[in-house]
Amino acid sequence: MSYRIEKDTLGEVKVPTEKYWGAQTQRSKQNFPIGNEKMPKEIIKAFAILKKSAAKANHDLGLLEKEKSDAIGYAADKVVAGELNEHFPLVVWQTGSGTQSNMNVNEVLSYVGNEWLKEQGSDLVLHPNDDVNKSQSSNDTYPTALHVAAVLKLEDEVLPAVKILKDSIAVKVEAFKDVVKIGRTHLQDATPITLGQEMSGWHRMLEKAEVMIGESTEHLKDLAIGGTAVGTGLNAHPEFSDRVCVEISKSTNRTFSSEKNKFHSLTSYDEAVYAHGALKALAADLMKIANDVRWLASGPRSGLGEITLPTNEPGSSIMPGKVNPTQSEALTMVVTQVMGNDATIGFAASQGNFELNVFKPVIAYNFLQSAQLLADGMKSFEERAVRGIEANYEKIDEFLNGSLMLVTALNPHIGYENAAKIAKKAFDENTTLKEAAVASGLLTEEEFDEYVVPEDMTHTL
């Protein structure tokens, strides 16, 4: 392998010739051989959007030549397009401010921008600190990149996935609105409900999650850029922050604003905690939905078996013909990961000291992983499970008609205690509820048929 020599304030460093990064990136690669978790591509993309926006703002303020601004923009566009991914090799487990990833971006943009300037016949040379990082610090650029990345991830991937799953469930709510089945509380028989009503609870969960996630993104649209090192804005023009936010808004078709108190935005990650809390709430609901699906489909002959799921793959390496609720299992594993990520994010966000929080990369990594897993998990669950759910009418009727909890309809007519006696008699003697009711002498067969109508029990009278 051939190398070139790059320099930084500590001296010379050998960098592979074919790589576009510089000395500080190379030092980070050497000094942090920890794990395999790379800085998320979403963070790198958001950094590129930020750097292009900062270059434009600096030019408009008379602080950066147009050619340099254009060169940074050219290189940044390539990063956003994913053309330079191989040149961002750093792991999450680095300096807690994310300084080395900020410099990785600065160095790559400088390298590519300088190549472009040469092609244009320009004698100007980009410097990663003086030009690409002008008016900035890692302390304000990293939280800015995180917020931009989080908003794009939530609005472009998570919320659309929620809608896909929600709309698919809505189809099932309508299809099964008149399918009367036995309800269950405490995993025991309860009063009747329709399968559509049961699924409508799932639908409402997703509606609520959609609203909460959407609301949380608004807080993420306040950006730290302009705070520079400690929140005072040292070395940045007073108009820099607002101008950068305008440019980021144009690039993303969102409305981002400058956080009014930069001392807060450099050391606090309460917006990320809040937004991830909404993801955790979604995850909790998905756990309930996925568990309900696999319970209702359990068996199929020795379990509940009230619904059937698509047959996607063989379920056992030893039991022929076995089919398992694998999509539910995958989604519930996603949920456990999200719950763990939430604990990490909450703890990391609590570790701000004085003017800075130095747990930025781990917050970003866990937040974006949760968002990706939830989006992918919901889409797979919808396509390969929910969409193919069918009702097992025979099994549903068997459980409904055999349930002792239909006796609840008798409460207004013979009282709770008498109704309980009938239910106990039916259970002890292994007879039907109707047989026990007539044998009790408390009401006639005709009265039982009039009072115990499962369909009527699913609606408010």
Residues with a known catalytic role: 186, 316
**SS3 state of residue 232:** coil
412 by Cβ neighbours in 10 Å (0-12 / 13-18 / 19+) ranks as exposed
Dihedral angle at the C-alpha atoms of 265, 267, 271, 275, nearest 10 degrees?
A: 140
42 within 8 A of 149, measured Cβ to Cβ: yes
> DSSP characters for 245-279?
HHHHHHHHTS--EE-S-HHHHHH--HHHHHHHHHH
> DSSP characters for 76-141?
HHHHHTTTTGGG---BSSS-TT-HHHHHHHHHHHHHHHHHHHHHTT------IIIIITTT--HHHH
Residue 43 makes CB contacts below 8 A (sequence gap 6+) with 101, 145, 146, 149, 364, 368
50 within 8 A of 244, measured Cβ to Cβ: yes
Burial 366-396 (b: 16+ CB within 10 A, else e): bbbbbbbbbbbbbbbbbebbbeebebbeebb
CA 460 to chain centre: 37
Going by their DSSP bridges, the two strands 222-223 and 257-258 should be labelled as: parallel
Alpha-carbon span 378 to 327, nearest angstrom: 9
51 within 8 A of 105, measured Cβ to Cβ: yes
45 within 8 A of 80, measured Cβ to Cβ: yes
Ramachandran region, residue 26 (left: φ > 0; alpha: ψ -120 to 50; beta: rest)? alpha
